[in-house]
Amino acid sequence: MPSRMADHRSSTEPGASSTRADRGAVIVAGGSGARMGGTDKPGLVAGGHTLLDIALHACASCAEIVVVGPHRPTTRQVTWTREEPAGSGPLAAVDAGMRLLSEHITTVTILAADLPFISGRAVDRLHDALNSTGADGAVLVDENGRRQFLTTVVDRGALATALHALGDVHDRPLRHLFDRLRLVDLPDTRTAKDVDVPADLALLTAKPHGGTSMTMDTFIAELCERLGVPVDDVDVNAILDLAKDVARGVERPAAPVATFVAGYAAAIKGGGTEALEEAVDTIAALAGEWADATGEPPPEQAPPLHDAADAETRNAGA
């Protein structure tokens, strides 16, 4: 028997997208996690949040959320239900979830609970694509060109018609449903990444050489969402490189100031990646000039920042 809890999340809550009364969501959070050795995927933690809570946060603009799967602790009150019989597949889960959405819901966000990079901005982009194209829905496409059907926003009426036409929805692949819908593709190699096997989570949460950690990536994505900044416009590695160049060529306290000035300069020129790249290049060039003038080694020859800090500590204690 499904249990229904009122959603008390306010659109004024810090970091929440403005809630839309006509938006609903179905989060597919069942499955045995067989390829994960029986691990409960929605309960896995990435960037300090469970994968289920990451999906719920991405649906902050949705007035109603139905989670299809076993009850778990969450940061947001939702409606819980199960497909019947339990374990009869994601298509049956989508059908079970949609049946509990109120009649005034006109668009349905369908997400899996194994998407570490899904965000409210991605959900908004899917809604924008749906509204601007006249299609039945919009879906994210991963780096292999594969549609991730559990990252979709669909017109409620079109979804109901397709489900009715299918008849029996148990133990059938999702493509049987989505093949009946006109979908617009949104390529997104990052947001569409999901966790299927333990190696996926290990790879996604690892810090690549010269890259950023999963925690940092999640923080930056949430920061951009709160500030209304397109996360795709933020070249994190370029900004970090700029900070290192300034710290080495000038002095460390100049690094955060320089990155602020880069963002401010880009904003004055209208924002966007080109304006930011121009500001970053200008500041990096100036930092290089200062390094040349002071005889400091160029960035690629400078010692790592933590080594320099260690040296300062050792000298202070000498």
pLDDT digits (tens, 9 = 90+) for 93-111: 999 999 999 999 999 999 9
CA distance 238 to 256: 13
Could you say which of 204, 226, 252 is where a domain stops? 204
Counting DSSP H helices and E strands in the chain, the numbers are 11, 9
Residue 129 and residue 197 in one domain = yes
Count of domains observed in the chain: 2
In a domain, 134, yes or no: yes
pLDDT in tens, 212-259: 555 566 677 777 777 777 766 777 777 888 888 888 888 888 888 888
Residue 174 and residue 34 in one domain = yes
What average pLDDT does the segment 279-291 reach?
Answer: 86
Question: For residue 198, what are the domain limits?
Answer: 20-204
In a domain, 99, yes or no: yes
Per-residue model confidence (pLDDT) at position 263? 87
Residue 39 and residue 187 in one domain = yes
Tell which wins on pLDDT, 25 or 275.
25
Residue 182 and residue 305 in one domain = no
Task: Tell me the three state secondary structure of residue 58.
Answer: helix
Going from the C-alpha of 117 to that of each of 57, 139, 217, 224, 289, the distances in angstroms are 11, 15, 9, 13, 39
Phi-psi region of 115 (alpha: psi -120 to 50; beta: other; left: phi over 0): beta
pTM of the model: 0.65
Residue 239 and residue 148 in one domain = no
User: For residue 148, what are the β-bridge partners?
Assistant: 140
- Cα–chain center distance at 145: 18
In a domain, 97, yes or no: yes
In a domain, 2, yes or no: no
Tell me the CATH number at 182.
Answer: 3.90.550.10
Q: What average pLDDT does the structure give for the chain?
A: 80
Residue 166 and residue 105 in one domain = yes
In a domain, 285, yes or no: yes
In a domain, 226, yes or no: no
Could you say which of 183, 204, 225 is where a domain stops? 204
Residue 162 and residue 240 in one domain = no
Residue 194 and residue 239 in one domain = no
Residue 243 and residue 188 in one domain = no
Residue 105 and residue 245 in one domain = no
Q: Which of 28-37, 168-177, 239-248, 282-291 has the highest mean pLDDT?
A: 168-177
Tell which wins on pLDDT, 268 or 18.
268
Residue 194 and residue 275 in one domain = no
In a domain, 291, yes or no: yes
138, 184 contact by CB (below 8 A):
yes
Residue 191 and residue 123 in one domain = yes
In a domain, 218, yes or no: no
Handedness of CA 142, 148, 150, 152 (dihedral sign): positive
Per-residue model confidence (pLDDT) at position 135? 96
151, 192 contact by CB (below 8 A):
yes
Closest C-alpha to 258, from 270, 269, 247, 248 = 247
